Chains A and B, each alone.
Chain A
Amino acid sequence: MKTKDTKNFEEDKQSAGTYPYRRGIYPRMYRDRLWTMRQYAGFSSAAESNKRYHYLLDQGVTGLSVAFDLPTQIGYDSDQNEACGEVGRVGVPISSLEDMEELFDGIPLEKISVSMTINSTASILLCLLVALAKKKSVSPQLLKGTIQNDILKEYIARGTYRFPVDASMRLVTDVFAWASKELPGFNTISISGYHIREAGSTAVQEVAFTLADGIAYVEAALKAGLAVDDFAPRLSFFFNAHNNFFEEVAKFRAARELWARIMKERFKAKKEKSWQLRFHTQTAGSTLTAQQAPNNISRVTIQALAAVLGGTQSLHTNSMDEALSLPTEEGARTALRTQQIIAHESGVVEEVDPLGGSPYMEKLTDEIVEEASALINMIDDMGGMVKAVKNNWPQQEIRRSAYVSQKDLEEGRQKLVGVNCFEDETDSKPPLFKVDNSIEEKRKDKLKKLRERRDDLQVKEKLRALEKAASEDENVMPYLLDAVENYVTVGEICSTLQKVFGEYHS
């Protein structure tokens, strides 16, 4: 893949909004509409998380982003042994429709878009959201939002897998097929480089591995009989905004251009929407330091600015206290204010791709396009990302990069303020957020009551129907929806699916 000649850049100044979208997917970008300010949050319980969502909405976020606890992400109910110690820690525990009702109490699902960081159990949580919308008399056709549903990067970098690779890919394509009809406004996947970068990859690896994952999903969907222009417009992406400012801006521009070329040239997509890489960005959690925590506000500001100058569609800014604990309310507010200051005070939103045309920026962009293309070609030669993942190849590459950057830090080649230079012995720690320790017991109690209340026979019947569909290669989505509407839990569903699919071990 060759990039266009940057010499012609002057003539090409209006090119935002036209293929291959190096300068942005919309002609006027933030002049028409700002990015969605979407702060990732969730902890303790549905009721506590609901309070935080209302607080964030009052403070001016324009979309919600749900953090689930690890048991929910992996498909265990709070009362299963595997969940011990993890309930409500890094997100909200959700098992049934009852929990969803509490989580979104008072939140208009037809107006506020909801993003859910959920992968191996994405199909189930999506059905829970749809079931909730139906119960609130909101047409699923009006639902807006995103499920992460990117299982490949779980094996590569994030670790919340449950089922083996092939079965997981089948769940992903079941979602694509079902949602293309039932949920036209919903992003069915958020193909994520964020965690790949957090795990230690370079910027080029982030782009290449993410787009190679994207290629694998498109191929899987085509193989499942879907037409490319039916599902491709609902693919979305998620990138990291790291420290190296110009490299990061170039990275977003390069990813956009590469994906457009892949979709048009390789997969012969016809719709412009299929070519356009839309992405969410989060600032880099791994760059934040426990030492001199307020310094993190400055890091986040620079990273967020890179995301905005790179043309992001939505943005999460990290809180200053995240190297120490979950964000406190004050930390979360300052993080949101950082976005608001960029949007409303800095003036950077008034021009489209303002760094475009700078020889340095165009050169950096060209380099990332070229190097990432070479890596993608290498993965193609290995038989694609699914095969590469099974062979642990991207995992090892990322591990190597992580070790190199740690060594750079420790041997002083990379400076980190407050850690390997400008240290301060008198540094005091900010107040920390604490998760209530009694949460696990309360959850067990709540689930026990739910199980007593439900019609046991009906639960068993729904699970049997699901098991049959899963083993017969039928689309499982209608069965999942039917199950969750009858208050079958995430844990029960995953135990059933595991009987058919088996379990993944790294």
Chain B
Amino acid sequence: MTEPPIKVLLGKLGLDGHDRGIQVVAQALVDAGMEVIYTGLRQSPESLLRAAIEEDVDVIGVSSLSGAHNTLFPALVEACTKEGLDVILFGGGIIPEEDVAVLIEKGFDEIFTAGTPLSLIVTRLRELVKK
């Protein structure tokens, strides 16, 4: 029996329009056999939470290159916790090393910064979902 594919919700959190990275990641996850819902630009923690519940996803991935991650990423964690939603959370973008540690501490499972190979993202997400 084959397992159902991993279901991933992706979105740009905040006002940032740099979506080259997230679009490439979306395609790579699809190529790796995952089911991907890309919600596009201008997502808020609330809009992502609603979509995640509706689509019953295993993973939420968000991106910001504008420096808003310290405010908006933890707000997503908070929204999920409040709702009791148990999903894998990962983020990407231009995120300084010291902020990566803070975001992990606040509840993100993984932060992939610029230059992370697509294959590594795929492998890591598979591991995280299995756990």
Contacts and interface: CB of A to CB of B under 8 A. Distances in A.
A74 B23 CA distance: 22
A415 interface: no
Contacts of A437: 70
Contacts of A160: 15, 17
B40 A506 contact: yes
A419 B115 CA distance: 7
A89 B66 contact: yes
A323 B94 contact: yes
Given A71-B15, A86-B14, A199 B20 contact: yes
B88 interface: no
Interface in A357-409: 399, 402-403, 406
Interface string A66-84: 0000110110100000111
B117 A89 contact: no
Contacts of B12: 159
Q: Give the interface centre of B17, B72, B117 by most chain A CB atoms within 10 Å.
A: B17
B109 interface: no
Contact of B66 (A86, A158, A323): A86
Interface string B86-103: 000000001011000000
Contact of A89 (B40, B68, B113, B118): B68
A41 to B, nearest CB: 15
Secondary structure of the A contact surface, majority rule: loop
* A contact residues, range: 35 or more
Nearest to B17: A159
Interface in B2-28: 12, 14-20, 23-24, 27-28
Given A84-B72, A324-B96, A435 B24 contact: no
A410 B14 contact: no
B81 interface: no
A159 B21 CA distance: 14
B41 A159 contact: yes
Interface in A454-487: none
Given A160-B17, A435-B67, A429 B118 contact: no
A83 B71 CA distance: 11
Interface string A424-451: 0000010010010100000000000000
Contacts, number: 82
A160 B41 CA distance: 10
B36 to A, nearest CB: 13
A290 interface: yes
A325 B15 contact: no
Interface in A160-176: 160
A90 B20 contact: no
Contacts of B71: 84-85
Interface string B71-83: 1100100000000
A82 B96 contact: no
A338 interface: no
Contacts of A85: 14, 68, 70-72, 75
Interface in B29-82: 40-41, 66-68, 70-72, 75
B19 A159 contact: yes
Interface in B84-131: 94, 96-97, 113-115, 117-119
A200 interface: yes
A399 B23 CA distance: 7
A410 B114 CA distance: 13
Interface in A293-340: 323-326
Nearest to A159: B17
B118 A159 contact: no
Contacts of B114: 289-290, 323
B20 A286 contact: yes
A324 B68 contact: no
A90 B67 contact: yes
Given A86-B15, A198-B20, A290-B115, 15 more contacts: A71-B15, A73-B15, A74-B15, A76-B15, A85-B14, A85-B72, A86-B14, A86-B66, A89-B66, A200-B24, A289-B115, A410-B117, A410-B118, A435-B67, A506-B41
Interface of B: 12, 14-20, 23-24, 27-28, 40-41, 66-68, 70-72, 75, 94, 96-97, 113-115, 117-119
